[in-house]
A and B are shown apart, each in its own frame.
Chain A
Amino acid sequence: MQPDRHEISVSVNGTPYRRSIESRMLLSDFLRHDLLLAGTHVGCEHGVCGACTVLLDGAPIRSCLMLAVQANGHELSTIEGLASNAGELSPVQKAMHDHHGLQCGYCTPGILMTMTAFLKQNPQPSEDEVREVLSGNLCRCTGYQHIVDAMMAAAQAMRAAAP
């Protein structure tokens, strides 16, 4: 059986990539094993845990539930693109560090991507709203409290920095 292959072009964190891939390849596998952007993690491969969350044209999606060919022509953002080129952590990353919002760190990439998109959309969330959005990402280590604290602090820092 000859696998059917497709030529796709995507932009990831502003860098254009062109690859020939099998149509059945998951976007998560494409990012991790073809582009070697392994910061995006895979936890369940059935769309529940949220570890593989990336942004597709700015909106959070589960990269384990999407085929790479479906991303053709789209812009993706992953954890590797969150810090500045000079290495300065984004407000969401920094708040996670400041508030001990991660332990093993495996679910962290998905949480960073989900919350980065959310805080852009809702710069002044209540704790309940943060918890509601965060409930789509499973973390087995932290009990979420420090993540919630980090997100409230990140929102505040982003508001303070806004022009």
Chain B
Amino acid sequence: MTTRFFGAPVKRNEDRKLLTGQALFIDDVELPGMLHAAFLRSQAAHARIARIDVSRALQRPGVVAVYTADDYGDYWQRGPLLVPPPPIPGSVFNLRTQVPLAKDKVRHVGEPLAVVVAESRYIAEDALDDIDVDLEPLPAVIDLEAALRPGSALVHDDLGSNVSAHVHQSKGDYRAAAANAHLVIKRRFAYEHGISSTIETRGVVAHWEARSQHMTIWDTTQAPVFVRNGLAAVLGLGERQVRVIAPFVGGGFGPKIMMFYPEEVALPWISMRLNRPVKWIEDRLEHFFATTHERGQIHDAEIAVAHDGRILGVKDVFLHDGGAYDPYGLTVPINSQCTLLGPYVVPAYDSTFTAVFTNLPIVTPYRGAGRQHGVFVIERLLDLAAHELNIDPAEIRRRNLIPADAFPYKNGIIYQDFSVLEYDSGNYEPVLDQALQAIDYSGFRQEQEKLRAQGRHVGIGIACYVEGTGIGPYEGAKVQVQANGKVSVATGIGTQGQGHFTSFAQIVADQLGVDVTDVDIVTGDTDQFYWGAGTFASRGAVVAGNAVNEASRAVRQKALKLASDAFECAEEDLVLADGKISIVGIPEKFLSLGELARRANPMRGAVKPGTEPGLESTQYFGPPSGATANGVHAMIVEVDPDTFDIRILKYVVVHDCGTVINPLILEGQIHGGVAQGIGNAFYEKLVFDDQGQLLNASLADYLLPTALDVPRMQLGHTVTPSPLNPLGIKGAGEAGAIPVGPLFAQAIEDALQLKEKNVELLEIPLSPSRIFELIKASVP
């Protein structure tokens, strides 16, 4: 087989629909008799619900129903635990998952209290104002440290504290490492991560068909199979009675995996009760507090180093803001804990975190999923050590990289997928070299002196990271050659712009000798593919991609077998190309794949025992553990010394995500990740007051990077295939976003020569006004 499409910058199959306005997004679903739902949301972060009176709302013309928690009866159940805590000895996890509608008390601004169902969305929203609610305010738990002090108000009264989780992991002997160290540096770091803010907000459409006793749910979810299974259970239906469709979804980045959102629980129940289809589309204001966030962590971390800059050990104690509920288990703080170790040899590590309940919206993974918090800490610690030891920042990193002959490299602590954290493969130093060369690291230092002499404030940063990707449990794919010769592929994951309609088609096209455009991919429809997990943790291409490959190979074998029977020749004498199988050297003697598909489904005769009809196969792939990608980002910035406005002059990414399916799509993933990283590093911060009110809940106040903020990026790649899957792929979805914070801090410090002024940038985001405040505060 000659590989034609795998690895090539193939243009995307899905573009035409999207470019002509023909792709189906959630709010495009229109059904006869459809009703519209709107949710009344709490305006208080923490309060007792004294009374909800919906009687006036019910009188408004066009309102069909209004429901509160009491109406749910037995249907009122807390959401499921999505990811159980990994088996780490001694860890504490207090499970308190979200509720479908608030009962007794509200725990964050935006928590739904009631749902109005009306003939139009306009009427439903009008009727929200007709609902009378008495809330008795309680002290809001906002500050992470205050939340843990005795006497703090409690987010969950029955718990007796605000501790969501407490986990300690260690390897080696940090105390001994510190005792023997040339230098120990200790600092406090604060890292905020904002909201994914997909351009499409969330939405749900539920359609119960009483005649067929069947429920169809369109949902902007990243995990349709999980949603199908979970909703079937709570609705008292069999899984086969529920079909969940994740149509084209306008960006995911993590929060669209969360389940169940209260709206996902409400809509199917309402549709069953009223026997009509019902739609809910989130508006942007709701998105700011009804969709999950990532937010802050506070790290008290220290590094013990030898005189040559080698890391002897790291100790970290951190607090993680989990928000009002913890349906996602430990995933985000565990990622922070594990990813802190980065691409470095860290002989001793002692890490403890406490996840804290607050009266703020729920925290679940958002692109990077806690990894950037850990990367910020280790990268900044290395910068501080480099400064103290008078070692160049790039050089101290090089001295600590895991050597190429040390893989697979065991890190000795437990990762989010329950395995012991092990880097499957890697070759880190060439990545660093390539990045330094691309940014012209040595040349820049000379240039910098010249520019400084001209009064310009330019600085450089370099940051390394690893990214755990492609975790299990499994994905599957069904590959089917149709009678018209086109290939249909169904997989259980959802898609939110990752290019699956193309990258998976490339895999199939190579195996089956067809054109990429002749492969039609279906994702996110549980009736098309029953099993699966979802699109998260940079795993789609790795896990589903390999399942697609396995299924395509099986179909290829079936086609060759059928053709060898038909031609009465050996399979080795056949060639599969251009949608047909021919005998080597006799191209005019061929059978098309479509014809073989027809023959595989005979009208008469008998299908032989041990075979099955159809030219199709369903296969599954589950990796033993996650594949670890790595990379280095480098950046040159110029800072205006008066306004602290920041301009990125050059941005370089060198990255190793194993074998690349489609370099064009990969570039797009990295560009987008960096853009989100820049927003995160620069100014994306959810600003809450001490009452838990979000002060910047609009896109005019919570700024997303525009085309003027995101620089042109220069990308480079190295390829170290993963041994954990036959295609050698590692995930790439989150890589762009992970190291931007420390890079930004390092480059700004360098540009403004802050070390000389005893100013250290130990927090993210670093907006111009924040940099101004930090510098001002340091001047006595």
Contacts and interface: CB of A to CB of B under 8 A. Distances in A.
B706 to A, nearest CB: 4
Interface in B462-477: none
B714 to A, nearest CB: 10
A37 B20 CA distance: 11
Contact of A45 (B283, B671, B708): B283
B25 interface: yes
Contact of A104 (B11, B250, B665, B704): B250
Given A41-B250, A80-B20, A104 B497 contact: yes
A93 B672 CA distance: 20
B20 A82 contact: yes
Contacts of B674: 143
A91 B196 CA distance: 31
Contact of A105 (B197, B248, B284, B667): B248
Nearest to A50: B199
Nearest to A87: B20
Interface stretch (A55-63, A132-140, A155-163): A132-140
Which of A112, A131, A145 neighbours the largest number of chain B CB atoms within 10 Å of its CB? A145
A135 B21 contact: no
A44 B668 contact: no
A75 interface: no
A82 B20 CA distance: 7
Given A109-B21, A138-B706, A140-B253, A46 B700 contact: yes
B527 interface: no
Contacts of A138: 199, 699, 704, 706
A41 B25 contact: yes
B30 interface: yes
A32 B698 CA distance: 23
Given A37-B21, A143-B674, A143-B713, A106 B200 contact: yes
B18 A140 contact: no
A146 B671 CA distance: 9
Interface stretch (A66-74, A95-103, A117-125): A95-103
Contacts of A80: 20-21
A108 B18 contact: yes
Contact of B19 (A41, A42, A97, A137): A97
A145 B24 CA distance: 26
Nearest to B248: A105
Interface residues of B, number: 58
B668 A146 contact: yes
A41 to B, nearest CB: 7
Contact of B21 (A22, A40, A89, A148): A40
A104 to B, nearest CB: 3
Contacts of B14: 105
B20 A104 contact: no
Contact of A42 (B21, B27, B664, B673): B27
A109 B656 CA distance: 33
Contacts of A100: 11-12, 664-665, 667-668
Contacts of A49: 199, 284, 699
A142 B664 CA distance: 11
B675 A144 contact: yes
B122 interface: yes
B122 A103 contact: no
* Chain A at the B interface: SS class: loop
A76 interface: no
B61 A1 contact: yes
A22 B283 CA distance: 21
A70 B121 CA distance: 21
B329 interface: no
Contact of A144 (B196, B197, B710): B710
A73 B200 CA distance: 30
A154 interface: no
Contacts of B21: 37-40, 78-80, 109
B16 interface: yes
A26 to B, nearest CB: 9
A147 interface: yes
Which of B27, B201, B251, B707 neighbours the largest number of chain A CB atoms within 10 Å of its CB? B707
Interface string B637-658: 0000000000000000000000
Given A41-B25, A80-B21, A46 B672 contact: no
Interface in B672-727: 672-676, 698-700, 704, 706-708, 710, 712-713
B199 A51 contact: yes
Question: Chain A interface residue count: which class?
Answer: 35 or more
Contact of A143 (B498, B675, B708): B675
B497 A145 contact: no
Contact of B25 (A106, A130, A145): A106
Contacts of B43: none
B284 A43 contact: yes
Contacts of B19: 79, 82-83, 89, 93, 96-97, 102, 105, 108, 112
B681 to A, nearest CB: 14
Interface in B114-134: 122
A10 interface: no
B152 interface: no
A109 B200 CA distance: 12
Interface in B2-28: 11-12, 14-23, 25, 27-28
Contacts of A79: 19-21
Contacts of B199: 41, 43, 49, 51, 104, 106-107, 138-140
Contacts of B496: 104
B710 A143 contact: yes
B65 to A, nearest CB: 20
B672 A141 contact: yes
A7 B499 CA distance: 43
Contacts of A78: 21
Contact of A140 (B12, B20, B676): B676
Contacts of A137: 707
Nearest to A151: B707
B448 to A, nearest CB: 25
Interface string B190-216: 000000111111000000000000000
A36 interface: yes
A41 B200 contact: yes
B249 interface: yes
A103 B672 contact: yes
Contacts of A82: 19-20
A24 interface: yes
Nearest to A138: B704
Which of A51, A105, A143 neighbours the largest number of chain B CB atoms within 10 Å of its CB? A143
Contacts of B198: 104, 106, 140
Given A38-B28, A107-B199, A140-B251, A102 B18 contact: yes
B284 A45 contact: yes
B663 to A, nearest CB: 10
A97 B248 CA distance: 17
B699 A103 contact: no
B707 A131 contact: yes
A70 B713 CA distance: 42
A69 to B, nearest CB: 14
A48 B199 CA distance: 11
Contacts of A25: 122
Nearest to A103: B497
Contact of B707 (A38, A42, A103, A147): A147
Given A39-B21, A43-B250, A100-B664, 9 more contacts: A33-B30, A82-B20, A98-B11, A106-B250, A106-B497, A135-B706, A140-B672, A140-B676, A144-B707
Interface of B: 11-12, 14-23, 25, 27-28, 30, 61, 122, 196-201, 248-253, 283-284, 496-499, 664-665, 667-668, 670-676, 698-700, 704, 706-708, 710, 712-713, 736
29 contacts: A24-B122, A38-B21, A38-B27, A39-B22, A41-B200, A43-B199, A43-B200, A43-B250, A46-B700, A49-B284, A96-B15, A96-B19, A102-B18, A103-B668, A104-B251, A105-B23, A106-B199, A106-B248, A106-B251, A106-B497, A107-B250, A112-B19, A132-B708, A138-B706, A140-B251, A143-B668, A143-B710, A145-B671, A146-B668
